[in-house]
């Protein structure tokens, strides 16, 4: 078991077909105790129950610093520590540069980037205290290639910000034995992309993916497992692409 007895917080893991939920299932299967944080507390609790005994699901808007602190305190009060945090909660919006209004900019940046900062700030003191921890930040290929398929430029900017934030935290907290890494998924079939892809569009996208398939949530979950576990014991500040070759550096 790669995560035996590890206390693992995963944000945005209530969505049934999402990357967070697949990661929660894989972490639980590897012995981790999973705490799902999502907007809807009932959905988060139901998702946690679905994982089996001993897991938890709480309401938490990651863009709300007080909520992040309160949810993390609940975890530390009950389990004594946080071993791993997966900053997965995210939203996108398919608009062009000239269409981005102030409210959309705030919304996209707040959930994807501010949320990553606030949840990391909430979890880091516990990780520092035990001189161990792993933070995994879900960015996107959109950050690396100037747009993915569905995200607007503000989404690319937010996800690029996540990469910079994760690298800076990796440098700052390396001395505390806390590793911080990012995952950059390509096009993954989840609710974020559901219903937005017709056959012609799909064919065109597949031509640009050497592995000739879209990703699924488990593909990303496996990269998160590697980074959260001791398999990645000397890996920090890294960016792991999970994109089927859509972008090769």
User: Which residues contact ligand NAD by CB under 6 A?
Assistant: 11-12, 14-15, 18-20, 38-39, 60-63, 88-92, 111, 115, 138, 140, 185, 187-188, 190-193
Among 140, 130, 123, CA closest to 247: 140
Residue with smaller CB distance to ligand NAD, 32 or 185: 185
Q: Quick count: other Cβ atoms within 10 Å of Cβ 76?
A: 16
* Catalytic annotation, pick one of 58, 105, 118, 155: 155
Measured CA to CA, the distance from residue 54 to residue 148 in angstroms comes to 37
Closest distance between ligand NAD and the C-beta of residue 170, in Å? 19
105 is catalytic: no
**Separation CA 82–CA 70 (nearest Å):** 14
Neighbours of 204 (CB within 10 A): 12
CB of 14 to ligand NAD, least distance (A): 4
Nearer to ligand NAD, 46 or 129 (CB): 46
CB of 130 to ligand NAD, least distance (A): 25
Q: Between 132 and 192, name the residue whose CB sits nearer to ligand NAD.
A: 192
Name which of 129 and 239 has its Cβ closer to ligand NAD: 239
The answer to whether 60 and 71 have CB atoms below 8 angstroms apart is: yes
Cβ closest to ligand NAD, residue 66 vs residue 177: 66
Q: How far is the CB of 205 from ligand NAD (least distance, A)?
A: 11
**Residue 98 in contact with residue 104, Cβ under 8 Å?**
no
Q: How far is the CB of 166 from ligand NAD (least distance, A)?
A: 13
Residues involved in catalysis: 155
């Amino acid at each position: 078991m790669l995560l035996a007895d590890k206390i693992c917080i995963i944000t945005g893991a209530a969505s049934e077909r999402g990357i967070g939920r697949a990661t929660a299932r894989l972490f639980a299967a590897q012995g981790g105790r999973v705490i799902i944080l999502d907007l809807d507390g009932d959905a988060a609790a139901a998702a946690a129950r679905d994982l089996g005994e001993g897991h938890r699901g709480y309401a938490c808007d990651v863009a709300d610093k007080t909520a992040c602190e309160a949810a993390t305190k609940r975890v530390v009060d009950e389990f004594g520590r946080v071993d791993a945090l997966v900053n997965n909660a995210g939203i996108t919006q398919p608009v062009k540069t000239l269409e981005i209004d102030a409210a959309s900019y705030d919304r996209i940046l707040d959930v994807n980037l501010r949320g990553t900062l606030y949840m990391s700030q909430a979890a880091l003191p516990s990780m520092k205290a035990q001189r161990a921890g792993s933070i995994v930040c879900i960015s996107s290929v959109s950050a690396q290639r100037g747009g993915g398929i569905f995200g607007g430029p503000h989404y690319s900017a937010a996800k690029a910000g996540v990469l910079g934030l994760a690298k800076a935290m990796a440098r700052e907290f390396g001395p505390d034995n806390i590793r911080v890494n990012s995952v950059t998924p390509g096009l993954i079939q989840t609710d974020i992309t559901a219903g937005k892809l017709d056959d012609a569009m799909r064919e065109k996208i597949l031509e640009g993916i050497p592995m000739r398939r879209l990703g699924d949530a488990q593909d990303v979950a496996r990269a998160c497992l590697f980074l959260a576990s001791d398999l990645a014991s000397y890996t920090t500040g890294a960016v792991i692409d999970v994109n089927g070759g859509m972008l090769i550096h």
